[in-house]
Amino acid sequence: MRSTCMTTVFVSVAVLIGCGGKPQDASAKTDRATSEPPIQVAQAPAHAQPASGGGSAAVTATVKFEGVAPARAKIKMDADPVCQQQHATAMESEEVVVNSNGTLKNVFVYVKEGVTGTFPTPATPATLEQSGCWYRPRVFGLRVNQPFDIINSDATLHNINAKPTANTSFNIAQPVKGMKTTKKFTKPEIMVKFKCNVHPWMSAYAGVLDHPFFGVSDDQGAVTIAGLPAGTYTLEAWHETFGTQTQSVSVGDGETKAVEFTFKAQ
């Protein structure tokens, strides 16, 4: 078994310095980091939506995939026994996940143009959990200035290295199971990448928006964006490997409009 003390004192400092990130005080107020008993996090479906924007229109998007699905690499976790012991079989990479119905998972779909007005910032935090040495969810959305909790549910060191371009980057260590750090981004940005320098297979992406009209395609390739006022909008679908696609859609009050995005094998 690992010594928590040795992990905290030696490993976390060595990792952060070796990775070129500036170590941050995990107890600082801006991080609101705590070492608490393990937290059980209820995971919402990938396509779960933010609160309604107040309108009565909706868009349902299906993200399709054409071509031969690339093979998903097996992830080797033997460098950290704590990680390896949590999986009976090897985890598979999530850069491209093609569903059984020929659709694509983990595509961030959002309204890029056409939104007017302002929307209250949610007080409820979004969550990025490290569980089984895996980021959960891999792709998610949150609002500008919305708090989001980064939680270590593993009995091993993680460091969370956020790599935004419009927002302020951070690189923090969570050496103890149950630690939680609360952060926020102050500007819209598509997308913010997270990585763990300790476990290089761990990556996640967040879309930061000043409105609630976004979602992530699920294991059926589906996204529903509800609560839209009547109007004409530009939708964008973002995928970490295949890039972006946009299209225009018009919806009336009480109307639900179906759209499709299709990404092709490269």
Domains of the chain and any CATH numbers = 4-36+47-264 (2.60.40.420)
pLDDT at 8 over 60: no
| Residue 115's pLDDT band (cuts 50, 70, 90) | very high
- Determine phi and psi for 83, rounding to 5 degrees: -70, -50
pLDDT average, residue stretch 6-30: 39
Higher pLDDT, 27 or 136: 136
Per the listing, tokens 């007017």 go with 116
Q: How far from 28 is each of 23, 32, 55, 96, 244, CA to CA, in Å?
A: 12, 6, 40, 37, 37
Lowest mean pLDDT among 36-40, 83-87, 185-189: 36-40
pLDDT at 15 over 70: no
Q: What's the CA gap between 182 and 125, in Å, rounded?
A: 8
pLDDT at 110 over 70: yes
Q: Which residues contact 17 (CB under 8 A, 6 or more apart)?
A: 23
pLDDT at 103 over 70: yes
Higher pLDDT, 196 or 28: 196
Q: What's the CA gap between 21 and 195, in Å, rounded?
A: 12
Q: State pTM to two decimals.
A: 0.81
How far is residue 54 CA from its own chain's centroid? 25
Cβ 33 vs Cβ 172: under 8 Å: yes
Lowest mean pLDDT among 43-47, 75-79, 244-248: 43-47
